[in-house]
Amino acid sequence: MPRLLPRFAALCTFVLALCAPDRDAQARDITIDLTDPIVSITTGFTGTDLLLYGAVREPGDLVVVVRGPARDEIVRRKEKVFGVWVNRDELTFDKVPSYYRIASNRPLEEFMNSADADRLQIGLGNLDLRAKVSGKLLPEAPYEFRQGLVRNLQRLGLYMTQPDNVVFLSEQLFRTRLRFPANVSVGTFTIEVYLFQRGALKSTATTLLTVRKFGIEAQVYDLAHRYSLAYGVLAVIIAVVAGWAANAAFRKG
Amino acid sequence: MPIAEMSVNVLLIFAVGGGVGFLSGLFGVGGGFLMTPLLFFIGIPSAVAVATGAPLIVASSISGVLAHWKRGNVDFRMGGFLLVGGVVGSTLGVWVFTLLRGEGHIDLVIRISYVFFLAVIGGLMLTESVRAIMQRKKNQSKRDHSHNWMHGLPFKVRFRTSRLYISALPPLGVGLFVGFLAGIMGVGGGFVMVPAMIYLLGMPTSVVVGTSLFQIIFVSANVTILQSATNQTVDIVLALILLFGGVMGAQFGAKAGAKMQGEQLRGMLALIVLGVCVKLTYDLVLTPSELFTITEIARY
C-alpha cells in the first residue's frame, strides 16, 4: 500500500510535534487530525479511506462519531397488491444525517451509560430521527419506518458502527480508519471525538471534513442541476455528433 | 457516473452497450427496449435508465436515418405528421413521468410497462416466426393494403413518397401514442410504430424504417431535453459509454446477421425479449428482501 506511506510520514511528523514542548497542545485533553481534510469525488471514484489520528493526555476510552450533511428522506413501505409489490405508506424524515459512523476502542456498553449515549446520540438506536407530517415534526417516529430507514442506510454502507476500529498505538496515541463509500454525499462532515474516563465523559474534540465533487464529474453534475435546459440541449448535440460519427465509421468499415 | 450518483464498472456498461448493439445489428432493431431493462438489472435507478436511453436513441437513429435518406426512403411529410403527434405525446409522457416520480410509483409503472410490451412483442414475434418457418415452402399471395375504417376519416392528405392518400389523424394518433411511450419508457418506439405504419397506415415497407427513424430522432431529442430540464436524470457519461459499446457491437452483429436466416433471427430475438420479460416479472412478484425504500428529497 504505497498510498499509506505519506500518511505514515504525516503520523510521524505529528508524533514529533507532540513530543515538542507546546503549551497549547499540553492544555488539550484530545488532539486530532486527518490525513486529508478534503475528499474529492472524481469520475471513477470508488470510495476512499481516511486516517483520523490523534493523542489523548490521559488514557481512557474513545468514541469517534462522523456525521454527513443532513437530508430529508422519504421512507416508503411496499405492500402486495394483486401479486405485485407496490409502494404504499410513506413517511418523511426530517434532516437525516446522510452518513453516520461510530468507531470506538471497545464495545460502547462497556464504558458508556445509556443516558450519555442517548444525550450525545451515539449508536444507531440513539440517533434522533424525526418524522414530519405536512411540515410538523412528530414526537416519535413509527418504529418500523425508522428501522427501515436505518437498515437502508446501513445496506448502502453509509451507516455503521465499528466497536473495535479505534486503535491505541500507546496509552496516548490512537488512530482510526474512516471508510467513505462511492455513494457518499457531498458537503461538510463533522467528526466528533469523545473521551470517556471511568465511565464518565471527560472531554470532546471536533473537526470538519469536506466531501466535494471534482473535475468532469463535478462539472457535469453542476451543469445538469443548475442549467438543466442547456444540459439537455448539449446532450442532444453530443448525441447527434456521436450518431454522425458512428455513421461515418460504418461507411469506412 | 455523475447523474446516476453511483460507481459502476465501466467495462460492464461497455459490455451492456456492446451486447445490445450486437443484437440491434443482428436483428436490425433499435434495441432501446432491451437496453433499459438491462440497465435496471445492473442497478442503475429506473428513472436514470429511462432518461439516459433517450440521447442514445437520438444517436443511433441519426446514424440509421442517414443511410435511408440517401436511398430516398424517408417520407418527410408522413414523418412530419408523426412528429407533431410524437412531440405532444412525449411531452405528455415526460409530464406523467415527473408526476409519478413524485408519488414514488415511477419504478413500478416503468417496469410494468416493460413487462406488458415485451410480453406482447415477444409473443407476436415468436408466433409469427414459427408460422413463417412452418410455411416457408408455401407461396403467399401478397396484396396491397386493404381499405378499412381509417379511410372514412376527414383531413385527407396526400403522402407522395408512401403513395398514400389518407386522413392525417391516424399518423398523428400513432405519433402521439409512440411519443408517450418514449417519454415514459425511454424507448424509440420503432417496435410499435413500424407495425402500426405497415398494418394500420398501409405504408410500403421500404419507407417505413427510414420514416420512423426520422420521427424518432426528434421525439427522443425532445424527451432528452425535457427529462434533463424537469428530472435531471439524463446521464450523458453513461450514455456515451453505452453508445461507444453499441457502435462496436452493432458492427459484429450486422456481420453475424448476414449469415443467418430471417425467421430464425426473429425467433431468437423473440426468445430474448421474452426472457427479459420473465426476469422483470419475477422481480416484481418476488417478495423483496427489504420492504422499505428511501428517497432523498431535500438537501441542506
Q: How far is B145 from chain A (nearest CA, A)?
A: 33
> Does residue A16 carry a pLDDT above 70?
no
Residues of A in contact with B66 (CB under 8 A): 244, 247
Q: Which stretch, A22-26, A67-71, A163-167, has highest mean pLDDT?
A: A67-71
* The predicted structure's pLDDT at residue B5: 67
Sign of CA dihedral A212, A213, A214, A219: negative
Q: How far is CA A70 from CA A99, A100, A150, A207, A208, in A?
A: 8, 10, 14, 17, 15
How would residue A25 be classed by pLDDT, with cut points 50, 70 and 90?
A: very low
Q: Test A72 with B297 for CB contact under 8 angstroms.
A: yes
What is the distance between the alpha carbons of residues A97 and A91, in angstroms, rounded to a whole number?
16
Please write the tens of the pLDDT for every residue from A90-119. Answer: 889 998 999 999 999 999 888 888 888 888
* Any B CB within 8 A of A134 CB: no
Cβ contact, residue pair B66, A47, below 8 Å: no
**Whether A152 and B6 lie within 8 Å, measured CB to CB:** no
Q: How far is CA B172 from CA A3, B84, B197, B210, in A?
A: 62, 7, 12, 17
Residue listed under C-alpha cell 430474448: B272
Contact A244 B66 (CB under 8 A): yes
Residue B194 near residue B208 (C-beta atoms within 8 A): yes
Among the residues of A20-142, which ranges form H helices?
23-27, 114-119
| Cross-chain residue pair B58–A240, CB shorter than 8 Å | yes
Q: Chain A: give the shortest CA distance to residue B32, in Å.
A: 15
Contacts of A77 (CB under 8 A, 6+ apart): A87, A88, A89, A90, A144, A145, A148, B291, B292
Nearest CA in chain A to B106: A87
- pLDDT tens-digit profile of B68-127? 787 777 888 888 888 999 999 999 999 998 888 887 788 888 888 889 988 988 888 888
Residue A1's pLDDT band (boundaries 50, 70, 90)? very low
Angle at B223 between CA B14 and CA B123, to 5 degrees: 70
Residues 6+ apart with CB under 8 A from B2: A43, A213, A216, A217, A218, A220, A221, A224, B235, B237
Decide if B7 and A182 are in contact by the 8 Å CB cutoff.
yes
CA proximity to A116, closest of A106, A102, A126: A126
Look at residues B106, B124, B88 and name the one whose alpha carbon lies nearest to residue B51.
Answer: B106
**How big is the A-B interface in CB pairs under 8 Å?**
180
d(CA B208, CA A199) in angstroms, rounded, equals 79
Residue B90: predicted pLDDT:
92
- Alpha-carbon gap: B108 to the closest alpha carbon of chain A (Å): 7
DSSP, residue by residue, B221-259: HHHHHHHHHHH----HHHHHHHHHHHHHHHHHHHHHHHT
The complex's ipTM works out to 0.78
Asked if the model's pLDDT at residue A14 lies above 60, the reply is no
CB contact at 8 A, A41 and A217: yes
Q: Does A236 touch chain B (CB under 8 A)?
A: yes
Report the distance separating Cα B51 and Cα B203, nearest Å.
30
Contact with chain B for residue A235, Cβ under 8 A:
yes
A237 touches chain B (CB under 8 A): no
Top-level CATH class of A4-213? mainly beta
pLDDT digits (tens, 9 = 90+) for B144-182: 455 566 666 666 777 777 777 777 778 888 889 989 988
> Considering only CB atoms, which chain B residues are within 8 Å of A155?
290
Instruction: Tell me the nearest-neighbour CA distance from A184 into chain B, angstroms.
Output: 9
Question: Quick one: what percent of chain B has pLDDT higher than 90?
Answer: 8
